[in-house]
Amino acid sequence: MKKNHITAIAFLLLAAILATLAAVEFIGKREKDKLFPAEGLTRVGKLSDYLHNLKGSNGDTDIYFFDSGVPGGTVLLLGGTHPNEPSGYLSAVLLLENIKVTTGRMIVIPQACHSGYTCTDPMEGLPADFTLDTRSGKRKFSFGSRVGNPLDQWPDPEVYLHYPSGQKLSGFETRNLNRSYPGRADGTFSERVGYAIVELIKREKVDLAFDLHEAAPEIPIIKAIIVHEKAKELGAMAVLNLEFENLKYALEISPKTFRGLSHREWGDSTSVLPVLMETSNPIQGRLRGRTNEEMIIYGVDKNYKTALESGKLRIEYDPDGEPLKIRVARHIEGFRAVVAAYNEMNPEKELLFENIPGFTEISESGLKNYLY
């Protein structure tokens, strides 16, 4: 009997140790990444400024304003709509830490779905963060879940009914910010975050808005610029100019029958010209092998290389990998091209910036020189 007691106590102690280690890791996900805005920062706001019931919640993300003081247009850029898509987040951070606005205003939300940065997707074995070399040394960046934390919105329904269209989606999508638009002030947690972003677009009179994403190599829309139909001329001009730089971007028009997405609902609900961009990221794919921070940073995966060489799957994958620096470079160059096209079409509402590196600069020198 005494031996059984000792065994039971040993198992209880082991369980307590494992639970403590897990708790420390979970609590660590609540720590915010420290960002270093460029000198031209005008002010830092909160998403709750546009919907008060988000105040103090994990949806109350930071908003960074850069106002040149020179009349012009206003551009909004979102990173981190899906926190498991790091090139969108890092592109927003790179702009935040380098940009100088000389005409008009720029608004940056690096972690649009802040809730998703407080967890990772269960059963996927994903890293909690990744480390990059920067000007100040080693620096960690959060890696999160595609959707919001279930602690902020639970339980998921069997079927998610999009508001106001009534479109039916998997219940899991109820926590997906990019299925929540235009949202509602008294809706679910995700709907309230989506509503606040739409309110920001309206109140700040945003003219041009970007939503930066990534997708698995087998998804047809990767390496694409997706626009609302009212921005198709803008998108076409940008894609053509990128072609002249030997950069291939597909132009896609937002489908009218797929509701809840930024490029559809922002365009329908406001006067803004919405643009969504995608890069190829193997860590999100179903074919991927070992999942770790090296895959986030270097984008190398043997399984995708084998699939590409087999010729049996339609995938967009570079056999040498899809490194983070190239994915960020594509987003930044796409942003530059769309803004240039916008300026050509709207000279009375120009958006002029300095200190934004181009594709060649980022792809050749890496991210180190552009992150503090």
Q: Are strands 273-280 and 250-253 parallel, antiparallel or unpaired?
A: unpaired
Q: Each residue of 23-51: pLDDT tens digit?
A: 787 777 889 999 999 999 999 999 999 99
For residue 138, CA distances in Å to 28, 87, 132, 245 come to: 18, 18, 6, 33
Q: What order of strands is seen across the sheet that includes strand 74-78?
A: 43-46, 62-67, 105-109, 74-78, 208-215, 273-280, 224-227, 250-253
- Give percent of the chain above pLDDT 70: 99
Residue 232 in this model has a pLDDT that exceeds 90:
yes
Task: Indicate the pTM of the whole model.
Answer: 0.95
pLDDT at residue number 299? 97
* Spatial distance between the Cα atoms of 187 and 178, rounded to a whole number of angstroms: 15
Mean confidence (pLDDT) of the chain: 96
* Spatial distance between the Cα atoms of 135 and 370, rounded to a whole number of angstroms: 8
Q: Are strands 224-227 and 250-253 parallel, antiparallel or unpaired?
A: parallel
pLDDT at residue number 367? 98
Residue 371 in this model has a pLDDT that exceeds 90:
yes
- Structural domains in the chain, sorted by start: 35-370 (3.40.630)
Residue 2 in this model has a pLDDT that exceeds 70:
no
For residue 250, CA distances in Å to 222, 241, 283, 313 come to: 8, 12, 22, 19
pLDDT at residue number 102? 99
Q: Each residue of 249-280: pLDDT tens digit?
A: 999 999 999 999 999 999 999 999 999 999 99
pLDDT category of residue 1 using cuts at 50, 70 and 90: low
The average pLDDT across 214-243 equals: 97
